[in-house]
Amino acid sequence: MIDASTSVLPRPRSTAAGVDLQFGAVLAVLVVTGWVANHFVALMPSISDRQHLSTATLDAIFGIYAVGLLPGLLIGGRASDALGRQAVALTGSATAVIGTVAMLLSQQPDVLLAGRLIVGAGVGLAMTSGTAWASDLRGPAGAATAGAVLIAGFAIGPLAGGLIAGAGGPGVQVSFGLAAILVVIAMVATVIASRRRVVARPASAVSKQPAASEFSSTRALSWAMPLAPWVFASATLGFVTIPARVHTGLAAPAAVGIAALIVNGSSGVIQVIARAGSWGPRAGTAGAALAALGYALIAVAPATMTLPLALPLLLILGCASGLSLREGLIDLEAAAPQHVRGALTGVFYSVTYIGFGLPLVLTTIGLDGSHLILAAMAALAATAAILRTTRLRRDSHRQS
């Protein structure tokens, strides 16, 4: 675990190399975490057809992931503050492998339920500890990169899973096996990288730290939490709800995988653009505003969408998700005391993941009720954007 109180300027070359190697390994853990968490989305149609699962059973298998995820997020962050980032990240990765291998060996409903629950717990541990670890190593840039890399994993996993499963044969098993192997490789890379002891935080991160008086858990959460609801609510609307309302002629796994690639790909690209353009904390305002726009458009859209309507919606929702995630994580890094950064990251991610339940809620209440839910969410997201804009005018918060 990195000791933020230790400041060594300039860094020894070996320390710099150790930080770079370790940071790359942490990013590898995060990208495969996103992969193993999300590739199941594209496998759902194939598994449902093979196992003749009812809609209710399939929804339960999809949703039970969150039951394991939320305690994993909350426990993982706090545990990494106390026990170290690496120990918790590796524990989470190993747990995700166990759940994935269980589903590789059997796609019976009870095994899928247990496997998804275990994967959720492992992903929660790895996400929070890995994100806090990246922030320890590289400051705000590390926090932002962690979010972008995680989203990349969310995008690549369903695309790969959809293409593999769509090829037929043992595609579902191959997708589970590939995901497990990638996680193991990332774990090995992390162990190797961590053998090079890191004795200091990068000088660039140390030199840009705010004054000690600006560190506060309450302050960090007050900036980050208003952005949290729009992260995965936006993403899942894009790659779960919209494909079900568009007739593309593609096989269901491929359609879901491509939608996930567009949503999560645009999420990653907009984060790069925001950084290159030095948007600063205003990017969070843009994320909430785009979420409001996306929800409002879906609320008034017809039950069956055309491709020219669906594609811009996927881009809007992806950008909303990416900017909200990026700015929420940077807000936490900018104001959270390091000894509780992991715990606060877990709290932030826990709220973001509530959005994964949105497609199920919309399906359950039907089309008429979904219009009202989406309209209300649009109003709340717009309110978050307005309040953030107002607060930025009287509180400098951070410069980048």
Quick: pLDDT tens for 180-210: 999 999 999 999 988 765 443 433 444 344 4
Residue 203: inside a domain: no
With a cut of 50, say whether residue 362 has pLDDT above it.
Answer: yes
pTM of the entire predicted model: 0.77
The pLDDT-based confidence of 325 (bands split at 50, 70, 90) is very high
The pLDDT-based confidence of 400 (bands split at 50, 70, 90) is low
With a cut of 80, say whether residue 49 has pLDDT above it.
Answer: yes
Token code pair at residue 299: 């609320």
The pLDDT-based confidence of 9 (bands split at 50, 70, 90) is very low
**What's residue 323's pLDDT?**
95
**Burial letters 373-395, b for 16+ CB under 10 A, else e:** ebeebbebbbebbeebeeebeee
Cα angle, residue 219 at apex, residues 215 and 222 outer, rounded to 5°: 155
**What's residue 18's pLDDT?**
63
**What's residue 206's pLDDT?**
41
Residue 65: inside a domain: yes
Out of 51-60, 77-86, 264-273, 313-322, the most confident range is 313-322
**What's residue 190's pLDDT?**
92
Residue 67: inside a domain: yes
CA nearest 244: which of 161, 310, 154? 310
Token code pair at residue 51: 């196992």
Average pLDDT over residues 353-366: 83
Alpha-carbon distances of 209 from 32, 176, 235, 335, rounded to whole Å: 30, 42, 32, 9
Least confident of 151-165, 176-190, 208-222, 314-328: 208-222
Given a contact cutoff of 8 angstroms between Cβ atoms, the answer to whether 127 and 73 are in contact is yes
The pLDDT-based confidence of 60 (bands split at 50, 70, 90) is confident
**What's residue 106's pLDDT?**
92
Q: How far apart are the first and last CA of the chain?
A: 26
Q: Which residues, including other chains, have CB under 8 Å from residue 110's CB and lie 6 or more apart?
A: none
Q: What is the mean pLDDT of the chain?
A: 85
With a cut of 80, say whether residue 252 has pLDDT above it.
Answer: no
Q: Residue length, the chain? A: 400
Q: Which amino acid is at 157?
A: G
Domain housing 159: 14-195+211-394
Token code pair at residue 43: 């496998």
With a cut of 70, say whether residue 11 has pLDDT above it.
Answer: no
With a cut of 70, say whether residue 98 has pLDDT above it.
Answer: yes
**What's residue 207's pLDDT?**
38
The pLDDT-based confidence of 358 (bands split at 50, 70, 90) is confident
Least confident of 6-15, 96-105, 181-190: 6-15
Least confident of 211-215, 309-313, 386-390: 211-215
Q: Which residues, including other chains, have CB under 8 Å from residue 105's CB and lie 6 or more apart?
A: 111
**What's residue 12's pLDDT?**
44
Q: Report the C-alpha gap between 9 and 22 in whole angstroms.
A: 19
Number of domains in the chain: 1
**What's residue 200's pLDDT?**
36
**What's residue 333's pLDDT?**
82
Give per-residue pLDDT as tens, 121-153: 999 999 999 998 998 888 888 888 888 888 888
Other CB atoms closer than 10 Å to residue 4's CB: what's the count? 18
Percent of the chain's residues with pLDDT above 70: 89
Residue 399: inside a domain: no
Higher pLDDT, 348 or 268: 348
Q: What is the CATH number of the domain that holds 262?
A: 1.20.1250.20
With a cut of 90, say whether residue 77 has pLDDT above it.
Answer: no
The pLDDT-based confidence of 353 (bands split at 50, 70, 90) is confident
Cis peptide upstream of residue 10 (ω within 30 degrees of 0): yes
Map residue 113 onto helix, strand or coil. Answer: helix
